[in-house]
Amino acid sequence: MRHLVQALGPLAPGDRVALLSASGPPSGRQLDRAEELIRDWGLVPVRYPSATARHPLHDYLAGSDAQRARDVEDAWCDPSINAVFCVRGGYGSVRVLDLLDADRMRAATPKPLFGSSDVTALHEWLREQIGVCTWHTPMIATGDLLDDPVAIVNLRQAVFEPWEGRRYVRPGAEVWVPGTAAGRLIGGNLSLLAMTTGARGRPALDNSGCLALIEDVTEDTYKFDGYFQTLLRSGWFDGLAGIVLGSWRDCRPDEVRALAGELLIPLGVPLVWEFGFGHDRESMCLPLGVNALLSAEEPEPSLTLEGGVQG
């Protein structure tokens, strides 16, 4: 398995951080609040054009595809920028992947990138094409973070504290398939994982021996069925060591539960339901690409981060 560069921080007061959107536009008020929060933490926010831009045709996109891709690439390659915060999800990051200069980004010094939801497409691309770890966190210019004090504390910990050895538990998490498994954390938003099966370079990375994190929000159950089928048929689940399912906010929980159980329990790997990352309140912040130990055992399933990224 390919070695990944850690590049997860921690940051220090005075560090300059980029605020940009690879996806949809945030509200101006939420963006201002995000900048205020970053300043309160002692960091220096640098607002990139995509954070306030609008696409000329599609109001769900933060500026043109070229603008969003340029901001991602420039922020990543600017040595004066210490981290990148994707301010909002929504949709659109899959449209920028083929516009990124992978060679230029590989030559740059890696840095932490924070985000989730639609940013899953960037997480996967950075893992596969650049070979770096990233942070799966709530989006900094959204109410999911700014109106949730626990989520703010969790993000601040991800930004400023070492991640090695951290142990995560979630009240109410359920073990569906018991066991323990060690592997590299991958994954994110289910719909984006399915969407990017057609957007990767070839060959895509082998997920064998990895621990998959999967969550989603505001989707019909039949769409989840299609997303799972896409990933199953494409081989994305082949050889996984374990699976951790996160939140499913604004979905039909009983239907999603039945569907996920039907399709994933037969894989026979340790499996936990509703572990507390994603779009729910008090969301966890999890580093993608690092090695972790999944303990799918009652009464308290847990995920413990180990001090390495070599698979």
- Name the residues annotated as catalytic: 117, 215, 279
The total of other beta-carbon atoms located within 10 Å of residue 274's CB is 20
- Please enumerate in sequence order all residues whose Cβ is within 8 A of that of 171, keeping only pairs 6 or more positions apart, or say none: none
Q: Cα(217)–Cα(310) distance, rounded to whole angstroms? A: 31
What per-residue string of b and e applies to 177-198 under the rule 16 or more CB within 10 Å gives b? beeebbbbbbbbbbbbbbbbbe
Q: What are residue 68's DSSP bridge partners?
A: none
The total of other beta-carbon atoms located within 10 Å of residue 262's CB is 11
Q: Cα(118)–Cα(190) distance, rounded to whole angstroms? A: 10
The total of other beta-carbon atoms located within 10 Å of residue 297's CB is 14
